A and B are shown apart, each in its own frame.
Chain A
Amino acid sequence: MESYLRVAAELENLGAIRRFVQEAAAALETDPAVIPDVLLAVDEAATNIIIHGYRGRSGLVELEVSRADDALVIRLHDRATPFDPTEVPPPDLTLPLEQRPVGGMGIYLMQQLMDEVTYRTTPQGGNWLTMLKRGVFDLRASGA
């Protein structure tokens, strides 16, 4: 089973995106304890696409939520300027706040909250960000 959402790339739609992922993950019987982490990671990924990808231009964000073995899989697709979040260096958490840049924590949070984050572009254009959260299904209960 796969759930799909396509929305305009606007910050006002972040709530709708979170609700969609919450409902799709629940429908797959994802361990409820991990859903807050997943929602925040998706929120950060979508925010990044909207703010740093589209940069105020109109566009779409597409989301797919599915299951692969014991992992919840979230895929985000957009046609914004290519931007690989996995290449952004992590923040230096040992610095005082005065010496840290304001902002820039979203990608780091996304990578900390999920078990795997990968990015690719397609020859047709467009960016795919795939995030996995492993060990979130009861394999015995589902008979997998």
Chain B
Amino acid sequence: MEIVVSQEQGRVPVTVFRLKGDLTTDEPLYSQAQEAFKAGTHNLILDLTQVPYISSRGLRLLHNLYLLLRTDAPAESDAATRAGVLSGTFKSPHLKLLNPSKDALKVLSLAGYDMFLEIYHDLEEAVASF
């Protein structure tokens, strides 16, 4: 898995991880995200344009990134999240996906992760959404 990190500026700073290769393991991506988080990253786009394949271990990584970036803001409280999930309106305000492949999208959908993670097909639009 190759990772290229860049910074974008929308209403808020956004870090973009451009990934290349199958998303089938936590590392080294999670460690890199932790380092970025410690350095001040709170908003992350995973560019999946060159990720042909996501397995359950890739889903585990997305789950951990979601938890890493979650804050204790009222809109992200357990009660607000649960209500948002039930009404289909909750999406992570901190982690978004760009250009997943058809197969990757199918896995995200089967696992129900598309209920929590916004999916974009245009980087500028994704950056502007934060």
Contact = CB atoms under 8 A, between A and B. Distances in A.
A99 B77 CA distance: 12
B60 A105 contact: yes
Contacts of A98: 67, 70, 78, 81
Interface stretch (B7-15, B32-40, B43-51, B108-116): B108-116
A86 B106 CA distance: 22
A97 B116 contact: yes
B24 A43 contact: yes
B121 interface: no
B93 to A, nearest CB: 13
A96 B24 contact: no
A106 B56 CA distance: 5
Interface in A35-78: 36-37, 39-40, 43-44, 47
A1 interface: no
Given A44-B56, A94-B86, A97-B66, 4 more contacts: A36-B103, A36-B106, A39-B53, A40-B53
A112 interface: yes
Contacts of B70: 98
Nearest to A105: B56
Interface residues of A, number: 27
A7 B25 CA distance: 20
SS of A interface (majority): helix
A98 B113 CA distance: 12
Given A97-B67, A100-B63, A112-B110, A44 B55 contact: yes
A-B pairs, top 7 by smallest CB distance, nearest first, are: A106-B56, A93-B112, A105-B56, A96-B81, A36-B103, A103-B60, A96-B85
Nearest to B64: A102
A109 interface: yes
Contacts of B103: 36, 40
A99 B82 CA distance: 9
Given A40-B53, A105-B111, A96 B90 contact: yes
A97 B56 contact: no
A98 B112 CA distance: 13
A104 B111 CA distance: 10
